[in-house]
Amino acid sequence: MNKAKVGVNGYGTIGKRVATAVTLQDDMELIGVTKTRPTFEAQVAFDKGYDLYVPEGKEDSFKSAGIQPKGTINDLCKKVDIMVDCTPGEFGETYRAMYDSYGIKGIFQGGESHSLTGISFNSTANYKESWGARLSRVVSCNTTGLLRTLYPLDQWNKIQNAYVTIVRRAADPGDSKGGPINGLEPSVKLPTHHGPDVQSIMPWLGISTMAIKASTTLMHMHTIVAELERETGTDEVLEILRDASRVRMVSTKSGIKTTAEVMELARDIGRDRSDMYEISVWEDGVKVIGNRLYFYQCVHQESDVIPENIDCIRSMCKMIEDPMESVKKTNRTLNIIK
């Protein structure tokens, strides 16, 4: 089997998880990861045995910290088939030009705009659109969360309009730099980017989104109201959601009343880094009245896009043509079990 040679540019919150996921795939090889500073994350990557690549001129600072780089980011580009770019959003144009110059493929994350790549990716909604593509973008954690539930619902009973409020975490658990400490911060630029991001994959969907930043680090919460084409019942909706890929049903009756218990569940089932890749939907919080559907879901912002990145590699490198075959393969390696 010819394995895809994968590099990860940016070994941070998303990058380190993508790197781990790549090492679990039998059809991929992790060639190396990049880091711009000799932080503890760089040390951990080095200790794991990952080949570490750094910006040109920064080699000595890493060596002084006891970390021996394998080479520069340019050197990594010469060795890979595809680069998963997990760098901060403002560097997309620069790295796209770099990947172009080396003739390699590039996957960007949701911090970049759709216009950077011209293709946005979701495993079940449009896997084949990235088939053999040179560039693609895995949409953001919140957008991925919305697609995981809205797409299968729309395929079953067309959604006329969806109204979403996102209560989002202020910072990741390991980030001490910012976020509201004792308050709620509205996103006053409306509508928020999440609706147009969903439409980059489901252009036919009417969707409006608002967001509030809250003083929590664990997860994002979505409240969703969807107007369906035809009247239905709550049980029918529950059946669709239970069958949806990478959706986990939870219940207050089982003791999962908050996002804290969802993350405790991820720890208890032994997930790497306590990650909850699935979108969690409160089963007893789903309600249909006529053709109007109400439900709550939550998104683990650090990890829900990781399986999508793995599937995107397979699509772009033309490795597995059937979307669900790739999804099932990724799910097995990440212990995502329905």
- The catalytic site residues sit at 141
By C-alpha distance, which of 202, 130, 192, 118 is closest to 159? Answer: 202
Q: Tell me the CA distances in angstroms from 323 to 11, 169, 218, 222, one per residue in order.
A: 27, 31, 30, 26
**Could you give phi then psi for residue 167, rounded to 5 degrees?**
-100, 105
Instruction: List beta partners, residue 296.
Output: 223
The DSSP symbol for 2 reads P
Asked if 152 and 244 count as a contact pair (C-beta separation under 8 A), the reply is yes
> What is the dihedral angle through the alpha carbons of 13, 166, 130, 105, rounded to the nearest 10 degrees?
-30
| 319 secondary structure, DSSP code | -
Amino acid identity for residue 78 in this structure: K
User: Any residues with CB less than 8 A from the CB of 211 and at least 6 apart, and which?
Assistant: 165, 166, 167, 168, 186, 187, 192, 194
What's the token pair of residue 250?
Answer: 């939870």
User: Would you say the C-alpha torsion 263, 267, 271, 272 has a positive or negative sign?
Assistant: positive
